[in-house]
Amino acid sequence: MSAVEIPIGHREVIEGLWRAQDRGRLSHALLFEGPAGIGKFQAARWFAQGLYCAGRGSEGWDGPCGTCGACKRFAARTHPDVYVLDPLEQEMESIKVAAVAERGTGEDSVCGFFRLRAMEGGGRTVIVREFERAEISAQNALLKTLEEPGQGALLILETSRADLLLETIRSRCVTVRFGALSNADCTRVLESQGSAGTAAESLVRWASGSPGRALAMAKESAEEVRGLFEQVLNGSLDPYQATGLVLQASGEFGGATPTAQLRTRTRAALDLLLAVLRDGMRALQGVDPAQLAHGDLASFAFEQSAVWAQATDNLIGLRGEVELNLSPEGVLDRAFLALPQARSKAITQTSRGSN
C-alpha cells in the first residue's frame, strides 16, 4: 500500500477528532473500537496523517493533501514522529511485552518511541493495530505511558475486541466508536479492491457491513462452503462428507503454519455457519427473511425453533473449542452433525404435527 486512502464510511468521525484537536480537546489516548474489518486501522492512519499534513489549518482543508512533505513521508512510512505497530503485517500472533515496553534502544517499541523527542515539531503518535492481540504483560507495560505520555504524545489503540483489554487500559483511553458500514459503502470498498458483480453482492450481504470480512470471505471460498451448508441443511449431503469437503475447499487462510491455517479455515467455516443459524433464529423471532443476510437459508429454521436454538448453542461452544486447539476435523464433524439432527427432528415434529 502506498498512500493512505480515505477511509470509506468513517469520515465524520475523523473530522470530529480533528476538530477536537483544533480546540485542544483531544485525549492523548484513543481507543478506536468497532467491528472487525470495517477500516478502523485505516481510519487511524488517515486521522494521524491529517494531524501532520502541512495544509491543515488552511481554508477549505478537508483531509490529508497527499502532496506535502509530511503526507509523502506518511505514505512512504518514513515519518519520524509516527510509529505503527501492525501485528498483521509483522505476522505476530500476539503482541508481546517486548513490542510495547521500553528497551535500551527505544525506537522499536511503543513506550520507547514516545520517549524519543519529536523530531519534526508536533508530538509523537503511535498507532497499534488489533491491540486485543496484546498479552496481559504487554498491556500492563503500557499503563505508565498511558498515565504520563509526555508532551504532545498521542496513542491510538485499534480493536474489535475491547472485552479482551484490561479495564485499566480501557479506563485510561477515550473510546471512539466506529460502526459497521452500509451495504453501499461496503460495496464501494470492494469495488476499490477490484471486486464487483453478483459474487461481490452476496459477499456484501453476508459480511454485515464489514468490507474486510467480505474480502476475507472471498479468499476463504465462503460461497463454496455456504453451498455445502445448504446441502447439509436440505439433506442432500451427508454431514460426514461435508467436513472433508470444507477442508478441501480451495482458498487462502491466514496463519504462519499449516496448523494455524487449518484453524483459520475451521474458524471461518464455523463463523459462517453460526451466521446462518443466527439468521434462522432471527427469522423465527419474526424478522422478515428478506432483511437477513442468510434469509434464503432461514426457511430451514421454521419447523422447530427449540432444536434450531440448540444447534446454535452447540455451534457457539464448538467455536470456542477451535481456540483451545482441539482437532478442527472433530469440531467440524460435530458442527455438521448438529444440523441434520436439527433438520430430521424438525421434520419429525412437523409431520407429527400435521398427522
The residues that touch Zn ion, with contacts defined as CB under 5 A, are 53, 55, 65, 68, 71
Q: Which is nearer to Zn ion, 54 or 306 (CB)?
A: 54
- The two most distant CA atoms of the chain are separated, in Å, by 81
Min separation Cβ 64 and Zn ion, Å: 5
CB of 137 to Zn ion, least distance (A): 38
Instruction: Give CA–CA dist 79/266, Å, rounded.
Output: 39
Least distance (Å) from Zn ion to the CB of residue 71? 3
What minimum distance in Å lies between the beta carbon of 153 and Zn ion?
A: 21
C-beta separation of 209 from 180 below 8 A: yes
102 φ/ψ angles, rounded to the nearest 5 degrees: -75, 130
Alpha-carbon dihedral 25, 26, 31, 36, rounded to 10 degrees: 110
Nearer to Zn ion, 67 or 291 (CB): 67
CA distances from 8 to 46, 187, 188, 207, 299 (A): 11, 10, 8, 16, 34
Q: Of the two residues 65 and 245, which places its CB atom closer to Zn ion in the complex?
A: 65
CB of 82 to Zn ion, least distance (A): 13
> What is the C-alpha separation between 324 and 305, in angstroms, rounded?
29
Cα gap 242→261, rounded to integer Å: 19
Q: Cβ closer to Zn ion: 64 or 112?
A: 64
Which contacts qualify for 63-67: CB closer than 8 Å, 24 or more apart? 63/6, 63/11, 64/4, 66/3
Q: What torsion do the CA atoms of 159, 95, 87, 212 make, to the nearest 10 degrees?
A: -30
Name the minimum Å distance from CB 55 to Zn ion: 5
What is the rounded distance in angstroms from the CA atom of residue 189 to the CA atom of residue 61?
Answer: 24
**Residue 1 beta carbon to Zn ion: minimum distance, rounded to whole angstroms:** 17
Q: Which is nearer to Zn ion, 48 or 142 (CB)?
A: 48
Nearer to Zn ion, 67 or 348 (CB): 67
Residue placing its CB nearer to Zn ion in the complex, 48 or 181: 48
